[in-house]
Amino acid sequence: MITSKFIFTAIILIVTSSVFGQSKRWYSDDQVKQGQHLFQKKCAKCHGVNAEGEPDWRQTDENGEYPPPPLNGLAYARHHTLDQLRQQIQVGSGMAKGEMPAFINKISTTDIDAVIAFFQSKWTDAIYQSWKTRQLVSATKHLNIDEAPKQHPGTYWLKQHLSGAKVTHGKPMKTPVKGIREVKVNNDYVYLSEDGRYAFTGHMIDLSNGSDLTVLNQATETKRLLQTYSIKDMLIYPAQGKERAQLTIFTDTSCSFCRKMHKEIPLLQSEGVSVHFIPYPRRGLDGKGYAELKSIWCSEDPVLALSTYIDERVLPDLRENCKNTGAVDAGYQLGNSLGISGTPLLILENGKRIKGYKTASKIISTMNIPLEDM
Ligand code: HEC
């Protein structure tokens, strides 16, 4: 990742075309099928049949080695390029602290690609898209500069280069930096030289006041997208007394940090924060989280059902002819268009994001709200 710092003063809002729906992937269904077979034979005993990994993959075991991590998009595999993934499979743990064998002379390169296709098919669109944008840096595909149209060649190239990526239509937006334009690719921002030949990713920082303009752009876009989700579909835990702030949380009850997060809610409420929950099944529409969220959101009293599930792990039965079935699907789509890569995801009123579990006092200090009695 090339991080560039530029002085930049305007905030630009880019409106993208509809970002819902399955994005185009680099592999075919046949590759996934072939990969599934191989994965079960060669990888599943360590990484799990659905590539879910070991639950405690973040910590070394008693021998000081790392257990097999998830490859389903919820761990670090999404930070590696395609070549890095191929290489990891070929050389195995090597010098790293782990027990993964090398597959270099055991599986053909075609089969390695198929295995990757299989575990990437478990990635949600949001995770796949942000992975795709990152490929920009390491892409090896060469394009003919003369093929690009005179108008906005950069956007044209990005589209060709990252086939299947969602590149903002129309012309790239100006930035306060002379000659540097900005386009939204999937859920990230990419900066382009005037002739469109050079692209770089990273954050634009206004050094005069330290503000991160890329994050501000993303926050503005997040706020706009959040408004597309019906407030009626959110589960609301209102502030006690006067409301001083609102917090939106994307949650998945099958995620243990989300359940832990939930225990902080009474504290937030007592400090004047209203908490709005949006369901986000992080494993997609066929995972455990989806079924759980659906039966909670569909129940007669969803707020009670959510709290009961957190405290007692008892789920209401999924009601027939439930009116609220669309809430979880819509939450999933919204989360994908925001590029969520994990839960819980907290969103402040200004659209800024806080990733992962945080204590109530930490959240309140980030909110920067004047709380008389604190
Ligand atoms: C004997 C257990 C074992 C087997 C079999 C195994 N792995 Fe691994 N794998 C691991 C461990 C442990 C790690 C983490 C430590 C490391 O990076 O070496 C790992 C890491 C990885 C990573 C890097 C993930 C990351 O988050 O950086 C990939 C990709 C991967 N394995 C793919 C595969 C594939 C594909 C197969 C089957 C062809 C496979 N593994 C078979 C144990 C195994």
C-alpha distances in angstroms, 291 versus 50, 51, 319, 325?
17, 19, 12, 11
CATH number of the domain at 132-224, out of 3.40.50.300, 3.40.1110.10, 3.10.450.70, 3.40.1190.20?
Answer: 3.10.450.70
Give percent of the chain with pLDDT exceeding 70: 88
| Arithmetic mean of pLDDT, 146-172 | 76
User: What is the predicted pLDDT for the residue at 347?
Assistant: 96
What is d(CA 326, CA 344) in angstroms, rounded to the nearest whole number?
A: 20
Q: What pLDDT is stored for residue 87 in this prediction?
A: 92
Nearest to 9 by CA among 219, 209, 188, 224: 209
Nearest to 47 by CA among 31, 76, 70: 70
Distance 118 CA to ligand 1 centre (A): 14
pLDDT of the residue at 2:
39
pLDDT for residue 357 is more than 60: yes
CB atoms within 10 A of CB 267: 14
Residue (of 329, 339, 298) closest to 315 by Cα position: 298
> 348 pairs with which residues across the strands?
247
- Gap between the Cα atoms of 228 and 278, Å rounded: 12
Residue nearest to atom 19 of ligand 1 (CA): 68
Q: Which of 255, 166, 254, 218 is nearest to 338 (CA)?
A: 218
Out of 32, 42, 45, 88, give the residue to mutate to test ligand 1, the one with the largest number of ligand atoms within 8 Å of its CB: 88
Q: What's the CA-to-centroid distance between 43 and ligand 1, angstroms?
A: 7
Record the tokens describing residue 297, joined without a space: 């959101």
* pLDDT tens per residue, range 246-278: 999 999 999 999 999 999 999 999 999 999 999
Tokens of 221: 């876009």
CA separation for the pair 117, 100 (Å, rounded): 19
Distance from the alpha carbon of residue 89 to the mean position of ligand 1, in angstroms:
7
d(C-alpha 261, C-alpha 76), whole Å: 22
**Model confidence at 152: pLDDT above 90:** no
CA triplet 80, 82, 84: central angle to 5 degrees?
55
pLDDT of residue 8: 30
Domain edges within the chain: 29-120, 132-224, 228-367
**Which of 38, 43, 100, 110 gets mutated to test ligand 1 (max ligand atoms within 8 A of its CB)?**
100
Between 126 and 252, the higher pLDDT residue: 252
CA of 289 to the centre of ligand 1 (A): 25
| Burial annotation 200-213 (CB, 10 A radius, 16+ → b, else e) | ebbbbbbeeeeebb
Residue 143, pLDDT score: 66
- In angstroms, what is the span from residue 296 Cα to ligand 1's centroid? 35
Question: Quick one: fold of 29-120?
Answer: Cytochrome Bc1 Complex; Chain D, domain 2 (1.10.760)
The confidence band for 324, taking pLDDT boundaries of 50, 70 and 90, is low
CATH number for the 228-367 domain, one of 3.40.50.2300, 3.40.50.1260, 3.20.20.140, 3.40.30.10? 3.40.30.10
203-242 pLDDT tens trace: 999 999 998 999 998 899 999 999 999 999 999 999 999 9
Kindly state the tokens that stand for 315: 């789920």
pTM of the full predicted structure? 0.72
User: Measured in whole angstroms, how far is the alpha carbon of residue 23 from the centre of its chain?
Assistant: 14
Q: Which residues line ligand 1 (CB under 6 A)?
A: 42-43, 45-47, 66-69, 71, 75-77, 85, 88-89, 93, 96, 98-101, 103, 115
Whether residue 356 contacts residue 342, with contact meaning beta carbons closer than 8 Å, is answered with yes
* SS (HEC) of the chain: CCCCCCCCCCCCCCCCCCCCCCCCCCCCHHHHHHHHHHHHHHCHHHHCCCCCCCCCCCCCCCCCCCCCCCCCCCCHHHHCCHHHHHHHHHHCCCCCCCCCCCCCCCCCHHHHHHHHHHHHCCCCHHHHHHHHHHHHHHCCCCCCHHHCCCCCHHHHHHHHHCCCCCECCCCCEECCCCCEEEEEECCEEEEEECCCCCEEECCCEECCCCEEHHHHHHHHHHHHHHCCCCHHHCEEECCCCCCCEEEEEEECCCCHHHHHHHCCHHHHHHCCEEEEEEECCCCCCCCHHHHHHHHHHHCCCHHHHHHHHHHHCCCCCCCCCCCCCHHHHHHHHHHHHCCCCCCCEEEECCCCEEECCCCHHHHHHHHCCCCCCC
Of residues 130 and 182, more confidently modeled: 182
15 vs 138, residue with greater confidence:
138
